[in-house]
Structure 1
Amino acid sequence: MSEKNVSHTKWMKRAIFLASLGKNTTSPNPMVGAVILDKNGSLISEGFHLKAGMPHAEAMAFNNLKKDAKDGTMYVNLEPCCHQGRTPPCVDKVISSGIKKIYISNKDPDKRVSGKGIKLLEEAGIKVHLGLCKKESLELNKAFIYRNITNKAFGVLKWAMSIDGRIGLKNGKSKWITNEDSRSLVHNFRAEFDAIIIGGNTLRKDNPLLTSRGSKTPEPLRVVFTKTLDLPTKSNLWDCNEAKTLIIYDSRTANESFLKRIPKCVEVEKISSDNPELISKLLAKRGFNKVLWECGPKLATSAVKAGCINEIISFIAPKILGGENSMNPFGDFEFREMNETIKLSGSKIRFIGNDIFVKSSLKNFCYDY
């Protein structure tokens, strides 16, 4: 790599780092960072998108300018927007600044923008370089990209289990399989998500709180999916002071009279079947990029079969629960041959005390759009 290319890579990696400072707060928007150099190649400004509704990275960078950007260079990890949303189009600011060159990692997958922003820049005489640090930028915004291309939320399935693969005893008791550090990590981990999904069985058995314990404000939306609406009238999830809650139910089989017995602050949505893909699409339509499935084996199996799960996270504790009837992470996929089984890839493994943390990709997705 030439010295010149090393310099371009350095500044784009700086833009990607700045973008990452908006982690957990930009959804439904992407994480974006911007760096501006003057015509002599000296840094004169930078910025990042902090939160939806606040200035975009390019706007912040222009607001922070130390000197004139005319004939300068910009580095930004995602194509500047060209539509009027909650903030003005960034393309207009880039063009009016007199910048001569712009390096962009990825096109914006949003159909209102995709390629249109680049075209406007080129028509204004700005030299556009596309694809620098493409892989790193894709990884940063994979959930945003996935939602815009598939109209489904990027799904992560999480469970904790014993070393013999059990998530609970046959009587349903599961507190606590993993150690305190693992449980604390889960609370922090939830802050990465826009929503957390469980099924009716998990609500009835565990009465979970499903919050990040203050790691994120506002907390992720708590989602309960039920086919019957056979749910308890008293639950931690009905306390909307902790976090917002949404009940999604199958309109064909549910007893809707239950809805009169819970607080009005709990949101309700009905869907036409028990297909988890409808949940994923409903949440994507709300602008949710990334959702965490913390459900039991029945819903987990259905979610995997429906293509709603992209990554899997498992906490494995050095305990033996035993018992043929103890709870497993999944139900029966009815595989008959080993070549039918589900293959995971890109596994990352680390220890949390004596527990083992494993993160793997379940569904490979082509981000070349």
Structure 2
Amino acid sequence: MSPERDSHFMRHAIGLAARGLGRVWPNPAVGCVLVRDGRVLARGWTQPGGRPHAEAVALAKCDARGATAYVSLEPCAHHGLTPPCAKTLVDSGVVRVVTALTDPDSRVAGRGHAMLRAAGLDVVENVEAQAARTLNAGFLMRLAQGRPWVTLKLALTLDGRIATVTGESRWITSPEARRMVHALRARHDAVLVGAGTARADNPDLRVRDLGMMHQPVRIVAAPRLDIDTQGRLGQSAREVPVWLVHASNAPEDARQRWRDAGAELLDCGTNSDGLVPDQMLQVLGQRGITRLFCEGGGHLGASLLRAELVDELIVFSAGKVIGSEGRPGLAQLGLTQLVDAPHFKLTALQQIGDDIAHIWSRQPQ
């Protein structure tokens, strides 16, 4: 098989893997394509909840003897709830395995590739590695740093405002932009807002109008737990998970109200500005969250930016102008020199309805 053909089928596997984003945490999203004589025999991707794995799904659909398996991540080599995928591939009769990335999980970390080679299979590594790395940035971030990949979303007027001086904000952006936000929620494990946003907007934070059953975990950073349990989040906490990250000295009566509503409470350290951002992300990482979609508000977004914890910035710019009396999209960052400003690189730009969506990736200082 030529390198061009290998890249073609691996891109197919990576595209399949993307279907698992937001659904498979804490596992990686993996795709598998089985090919024989240039013809696709079967396809598979990691199923909701992380099982079964992509390789098992694809292999269950066909006779794979003599085939090449394209897998977007090194097949697992450890016994868990299912047998190792590397052994399953060997037993299936495939003769060649092409992978994009070595799995950095300490239970795998090259052992899957070694198991395949020991059985006499031809193994090719690092095909379309960057695309696979981008897709599973959250899984890789959690393993390397113990925290989820963070996407911060801002919906702003042309002059960078999120609301009028009276707090009116519905709707700054177009219906098309809001629909895209719901699609973005569906591709993340969890959606995060601050307590101020929860109080002011009474958000629901579920995915709507996309005909989808999957819902992300809904998380509120609320040091004092001073949010009404009769709001949308409290009233639906038994239907779709709600997690509240709070300070260790949050009032016990507030804790009990939210427990009674069905929410899960997560203790986190605080400083003079509220919850310590990196500790909050570590807590979420320990619970398995790999991809976190932050929808504000301004203080929470600013705290994550100050701590250099925003990996991706998605901005929706609407053709409206409010003026300096309007509420800014971000709270103060405490900058005195431009060189200290968080730096992002533009990675995508498109028109969405009457708005512009631009996506930026964080650049190291």
TM beyond 0.5:
yes
User: For the Cα contact (< 8 Å) 1:101–1:128, is it kept in 2?
Assistant: yes
Q: Which runs of 5+ in 1 are unaligned?
A: none
Match of 2:257 among 256, 261, 282: 261
Partner of 2:46: 49
Aligned residue pair count: 358
Amino acid at match of 1:51: P
CA distance in 1, matches of 2:92, 2:215: 38
Aligned position for 2:11 = 13
Alignment partner of 1:207 is 2:202: yes
Q: Secondary structure at the match of 1:19?
A: helix
Match of 1:235 in 2: 231
In the TM superposition, residue 170 of structure 1 has moved relative to its aligned partner by 2.7
Residue 158 of structure 1 is matched in structure 2 by 153
RMSD value, Cα: 2.2
Q: Secondary structure at the match of 2:359?
A: strand
Quote the offset at 1:53 in angstroms.
Answer: 4.6
Contact kept? 2:175, 2:353, Cα under 8 Å: no
- Cα distance in 2 for residues equivalent to 1:61 and 1:101: 15
Identify the residue that residue 124 of structure 2 maps to in structure 1: 129
Query: Which sections of structure 2, spanning at least 5 residues, go unmatched?
Result: none
Indicate the SS of the match to 1:243.
Answer: coil
Structure 2 residue 24 is matched with structure 1 residue 29: no
Looking at structure 2, the residues matched to 21 and 218 of structure 1 have their Cα atoms a distance apart, in angstroms, of: 12
Residue 101 of structure 1 is matched in structure 2 by 96
* Counterpart contact for 1:311–1:363, Cα < 8 Å: no
**What is the SS of the residue equivalent to 1:78?**
coil
Quick check: 1:354 aligned with 2:354?
yes
Structure 2 residue 281 is matched with structure 1 residue 286: no
Q: Using a 3 Å threshold, how does the CA distance of structure 1 residues 91 and 336 change in structure 2: closer, same or farther? A: same
Could you tell me how far 1:160 is from its partner in structure 2?
Answer: 1.0
Question: Greater CA deviation, 120-129 or 75-84?
Answer: 120-129
Counterpart amino acid of residue 111 in structure 2? K
1:250 and 2:247 aligned: yes
1:60 maps to which residue?
A: 57
What is the identity, as a one-letter code, of the residue corresponding to 2:49?
Answer: A
Say yes or no: does 1:297 pair with 2:293: no
1:241 positional shift = 4.8
* Displaced runs of 4 or more, over 6 A: none
Change (3 A) 1:90 1:176: same
Q: Counterpart of 1:261 in structure 2: which amino acid?
A: R
In the alignment, the residues of structure 2 paired with residue 183 and residue 42 of structure 1 have an alpha-carbon distance, to the nearest angstrom, of 40
Does the CA-based 8 Å contact 1:343-1:362 persist in structure 2? yes
Distance 1:349 1:81 in 2: 37
Cα shift at 1:152: 0.4
1:224 alignment partner in structure 2: 220
Shift of 1:264: 3.6
TM-aligned CA deviation for residue 116 of structure 1: 1.6
Aligned partner (choices 54, 75, 81) of residue 76 of structure 2: 81
Structure 2: how far apart are the matches of 1:352 and 1:41?
Answer: 38
TM-score, reference length from structure 1? 0.89
Q: Is the 8 A contact 2:192 2:219 kept in 1?
A: yes
Comparing 185-194 with 150-159, greater Cα deviation is found at: 185-194
Match of 2:178 among 180, 183, 187: 183
Q: Please give the secondary structure, in 1, of the residue aligned with 2:317.
A: strand
Q: Distance in 1 between matches of 2:221 and 2:125?
A: 42
Query: In the alignment, which residue of structure 2 is the partner of 1:342?
Result: 342
Q: Assess if the C-alpha contact under 8 Å between 2:305 and 2:342 holds in 1.
A: no
The 3 A distance-change label for structure 1 pair 41 and 202 is closer
CA 61–323 in structure 1, closer or farther in 2 if over 3 Å, else same: closer
Compared with structure 1, are the counterparts of its residues 20 and 188 closer, same or farther at alpha carbon in structure 2 (3 Å cutoff)?
Answer: closer
315-324 vs 91-100, which moves further: 91-100
Contact 1:16/1:33 (<8 A) preserved? yes
Q: Which moved more, 1:157-166 or 1:223-232?
A: 223-232
Q: CA shift at 1:48, angstroms?
A: 2.4
Q: 1:118 to 1:21 in 2, by over 3 A?
A: same
What is the TM-score with the length of structure 2 in the denominator?
Answer: 0.90
Choose from 131, 138, 148 the match for 2:133. Answer: 138
Q: Name 2:2's counterpart in structure 1.
A: 4
Contact kept in structure 2, 1:36 and 1:69, CA below 8 Å: no
Mapped to 2, the partners of 1:183 and 1:34 lie a distance apart of 32
Contact 2:238-2:263 at 8 Å conserved across structures: no
C-alpha separation in 1, matches of 2:69 and 2:216 = 34
**Residues 1:113 and 2:108 are matched in the alignment:** yes
Shift in Å at residue 52 of structure 1?
2.6
Q: Cα gap change, 1:317/1:90 in structure 2, threshold over 3 Å: closer, same or farther? A: same
1:194-244 superposed Cα distances (whole Å, 9 cap, x missing partner): 111111111111111111116443421111112222222421110225522
**Alignment partners' CA distance in 1, 2:166 and 2:11:** 51
- Contact between 2:350 and 2:358, CA under 8 Å: does it hold in 1? yes
**Equivalent-residue separation in structure 1 for 2:257 and 2:13 (angstroms):** 50
